[in-house]
Structures are given as structure tokens and as C-alpha cells.
Amino acid sequence: QLQLQESGPGLVKPSQTLPLTCTVSDGSIISTNYYWGWIRQPPGKGLEWIGHIYFSGRTYYNPSLKSRVTISVDTSENQFSLKLISVTAADTAVYYCARVALYNGWYYFDYWGQGTLVTVSS
């Protein structure tokens, strides 16, 4: 069964860069039917889609974060990554990576990582 695992620092200082990596196991990141995405959830709040990437490198970003976000893919390592620059306390959240399935014209997030809490604080 496909597994996704987020990794990265749990604490980032304000104005610095938040780097996260998602490692995909028991499945290949190279697939025509899937994208690979990031979603975040501030403590006690709802879900926010950050963006996703195709194995070819084509990206889709949330316009509200687009100026600060970069999502990249490393097919040789079966990983994809998130970088969020110039972070503030408002970026404190649980960050999830997920697989985005494309099936019969429908997009949906069918496999998720367990999530990693990133706190922005000095």
C-alpha cells in the first residue's frame, strides 16, 4: 500500500525558509494518473491547499501563497518537496503531503502522509 512520509524541521524562525520533503514508498512517483500535493492545517482550523506537482515538474499553486512557495520533484529519490519562504507565525500549521488522483476526470486526494507540525517562532 502506498505510503507518504513528511520530513523537515519542526521549528522555523520568522522570515526564514520552511523546507519539507515527502518520501513516497511502495509506489512510483512517476505516473500519468497522479499528482503530488501539499496541504496545511493551522492548529484548530481548516484545510488549505498549497499546491501540487506532476512528475514532469509542472506545478499548480494556490494564488494566495504563490509568491512564496516552490514545489519540486526528485524522481530518482521518489520524493517531492515544499519550500515556503519568508515565513511568519501565520504559517504555523500541520503540513500534509498527499497523492492527487486523476480518475475519470475527477481529482481527489486519495493517500495522505501523517502530517508534520511546523511552528514558526523565534
Partner 1 sequence: DIQMTQSPSSLPASVGDRVTITCRASQSINRHLNWYQQKPGKAPKILIYGASNLQNGVPSRFSGSGSGTDFTLTISSLQPEDFATYYCQQTSTTPPYTFGQGTKLEIK
Taking CA atoms, 121 is separated from 18, 34, 88, 115, in Å, by: 12, 35, 8, 19
Question: Closer to partner 1 at the Cβ: 64 or 72?
Answer: 64
Residue 46 CB, nearest approach to partner 1 (Å):
5
Joined together, the cell numbers standing for residue 69 give 512557495
Residue 65 CB, nearest approach to partner 1 (Å):
9
Residue 105 CB, nearest approach to partner 1 (Å):
8
Question: Closer to partner 1 at the Cβ: 25 or 114?
Answer: 114
Question: Closer to partner 1 at the Cβ: 16 or 112?
Answer: 112
How crowded is the C-beta side of 19, counted as CA atoms within 13 Å?
A: 3
Neighbours of 77 (CB within 10 A): 12
Residue 118 CB, nearest approach to partner 1 (Å):
15
DSSP, res 85: -
Question: Closer to partner 1 at the Cβ: 15 or 114?
Answer: 114
Q: Enumerate binding residues for partner 1 (CB under 8 A).
A: 46-49, 51, 60-64, 96, 98, 101, 103-110, 112-115
Q: Which helix (H) or strand (E) holds 117?
A: strand 116-120
